[in-house]
Amino acid sequence: MSDSPVASGLRPSLQTNRRWLRRAAKRHELELTNSGCQGALDGLEALLAPLVLAVAEPELRAADRSGVAIGLDADDWASRWARFPRARALVELLTAQWRRQLETAFTRLNQDRAGLCRRLGIAALPPISSLKLDAGDRHDDGQTVVLLGFVDGTGLVYKPKDLRVAAAVLELLAILDEAGLEPALGRRWIWTRTGYAWEQRLEHRACDSRDGLRRYYRRLGALARVMQLLGAGDLWLDNLIAVGEQPMFIDLETALSPGRSDPEATFDDPAHAMARYLVDQSVVALAMLSMRVSPGPGLADEELGVLAPPGSFCLPYRVDADLERMAFGEASPHRDGHALWSHRQHAALLAEGEGEVFVDPACFAEEILAGMDEAQRVLLVVRKRISAWLETLAGLPLRVIRRHTWLYGRVLRKLQRPALLADGAASEALFAAWRQAAASSDAALVDAEIAAFRRLDVPYLCVRADGCDLLDGAGAVLVAAAFDESALARARARLAGLA
């Protein structure tokens, strides 16, 4: 991309922000290597590239027809930005968000360095050799998960959200281990702070033996049973890292879920209602062992549960390969006109010779079931401790996924198309269409979604563990009594029925 048309449009901003980044690290007494600096700038480039492409797209298409290359000097770009003032404003917004994200992360890293060094088992923080800012969706004015790596091979995960519930779930898993769960579940640390958290950074690793794979799947079965008891959700492959023999869920903010009130669901048939209830009570609702998603009309479903093999998965986002080749010199990975996403860290692999192989999880179905049985045995032993543990969750925020995140992603991509960037009325028409399509939803929820779209954010919604009100990321009530039953009440009922 270094010599592409889009690269020429990005270059001035990246040069300016490289200097800012160096100064910011120095202000907070942090050492940033060249690779660490480049990682952060790669994150900014990924944010801005769609907007730079959009303002150049009309000329790129015309140039493709005429054979005359577009101008790439400063005056050419100034003229393009003048024709797309909304794009210019969004570039300024995204850049400010990127800077604020790093400034906040650096401030907290500096303030917390003593506690982090203790957890990492080191005397002082080494130079930062990697910074990855696109390890999750953007929420609440551009905040994202940040992956940090240091030159000594250690690393951290910074999450700008309240993760007390995730820390509590790890405490529950420790209770099960102490009660004799076999094989024991893996340990990792989370350090919760006010409004944010630091986590141990995990690395994907293959199992050394087939017996190790068997233990992996027993542990996975045990986790499935525990999460079923809690009423968890969103435990798909992107939220799991296979660390040798240990399946480690890295996103536990949906470990409990409230009873959903669905105004569009009416069941005149009692059998239909009972079937839905039974599915909701089963491991199917976890989106863990299986999660089938359609990337688009006429395309085969993708399996995105944690048992899926490593590989490339088709996403519901269109790719214009010809335009990308004109703009970047090459097209992003795609199949049937849709973006491809490569993922392997969820997969339990077996080290074999100099390589690694994936063994069909169907070979370990008995181990998964045995793990569920083992978890059931231990849950019965410690049910009183679990009851007391549940009460510690009162008041803690849980994430709620009201609509599929990929639906939000499609809206955000559309907002960065030339037609909507050139004409403010076109963007407002899209928001009006969203309101109409979401007519059954509460107006305050739709307003919050649109406010997030204007910042190019994925809307972030939550609920208190013992509450039924739908909240925004700041804790303000969007929809009162949005749920039929609190997450805590549901978990209490499941625990009471444990037998």
The predicted-structure confidence for 238-264, as pLDDT tens digits, reads as follows 999 999 999 999 999 999 999 875 544
The proportion of the chain whose per-residue pLDDT surpasses 70, expressed as a percent, equals 98
Residues 166-170: contacts with CB under 8 Å, at least 24 apart: 166/190, 166/197, 166/251, 166/252, 166/253, 166/255, 167/192, 167/197, 168/389, 168/392, 168/393, 168/396, 169/230, 169/252, 169/255, 170/252
Kindly state whether residue 82 falls inside one of the protein's structural domains.
Answer: yes
Kindly state whether residue 113 falls inside one of the protein's structural domains.
Answer: yes
Does residue 177 carry a pLDDT above 90?
yes
Does residue 179 carry a pLDDT above 70?
yes
Helix (H, G, I), strand (E, B) or coil at 483: strand
Euclidean distance between CA atoms 329 and 166, whole angstroms: 43
| Pairing outcome for strands 470-472 and 302-303 | unpaired
* Bridge partner list, 130: 149
Split into its structural domains, the chain has a count of 1
Helix (H, G, I), strand (E, B) or coil at 70: coil
Nearest 10 degrees: Cα torsion 293, 296, 298, 301: -10
Helix (H, G, I), strand (E, B) or coil at 262: coil
Kindly state whether residue 12 falls inside one of the protein's structural domains.
Answer: yes
Kindly state whether residue 166 falls inside one of the protein's structural domains.
Answer: no
What pLDDT shows up at residue 280? 80
Question: Per-residue confidence at 2, pLDDT binned at 50, 70, 90?
Answer: low
What pLDDT shows up at residue 268? 62
What pLDDT shows up at residue 472? 96
Kindly state whether residue 206 falls inside one of the protein's structural domains.
Answer: no
The proportion of the chain whose per-residue pLDDT surpasses 90, expressed as a percent, equals 88
Bigger pLDDT: 278 or 460?
A: 460
Q: Computed from CA positions of residues 276, 278, 283, 284, in that sequence, does the dihedral angle turn out positive or negative?
A: negative
The answer to whether 456 and 415 have CB atoms below 8 angstroms apart is: yes
Domain containing residue 92? 5-118
Kindly state whether residue 51 falls inside one of the protein's structural domains.
Answer: yes
| DSSP letter assigned to residue 207 | B
Kindly state whether residue 491 falls inside one of the protein's structural domains.
Answer: no
Output the average pLDDT for the chain.
Answer: 94
Does residue 265 carry a pLDDT above 60?
no
- Residue 293 CA from chain centroid, whole number: 16
What pLDDT shows up at residue 142? 96
Highest mean pLDDT among 94-103, 132-141, 418-427: 94-103
pLDDT, tens digit, 9 for 90 and up, residues 17-46: 999 999 999 999 999 999 999 999 999 999
Quick one: average pLDDT of 89-93? 97
Structural tokens at position 128 = 């930062």
Quick one: average pLDDT of 463-467? 98
Nearest to 489 by CA among 400, 399, 387: 387
Nearest 10 degrees: Cα torsion 22, 25, 29, 33: -70
What pLDDT shows up at residue 331? 95
Euclidean distance between CA atoms 404 and 236, whole angstroms: 13
Highest mean pLDDT among 74-78, 302-306, 422-426: 302-306
pTM listed for this prediction? 0.94
Question: Per-residue confidence at 439, pLDDT binned at 50, 70, 90?
Answer: confident
Question: Per-residue confidence at 411, pLDDT binned at 50, 70, 90?
Answer: very high
Does residue 310 carry a pLDDT above 80?
yes
Quick one: average pLDDT of 125-133? 97
What pLDDT shows up at residue 261? 55
From the CB of residue 489, how many other CB atoms can be counted at a distance below 10 Å?
Answer: 18
**Exposed/middle/buried for residue 2 (C-beta within 10 Å: 0-12, 13-18, 19+):** exposed
Does residue 497 carry a pLDDT above 80?
yes
Question: Per-residue confidence at 149, pLDDT binned at 50, 70, 90?
Answer: very high
Kindly state whether residue 499 falls inside one of the protein's structural domains.
Answer: no
Question: Per-residue confidence at 418, pLDDT binned at 50, 70, 90?
Answer: very high
pLDDT, tens digit, 9 for 90 and up, residues 55-83: 999 999 999 999 988 988 999 999 999 99
Read off φ and ψ for residue 293, nearest 5 degrees: -130, 135
What pLDDT shows up at residue 264? 47
Does residue 211 carry a pLDDT above 50?
yes
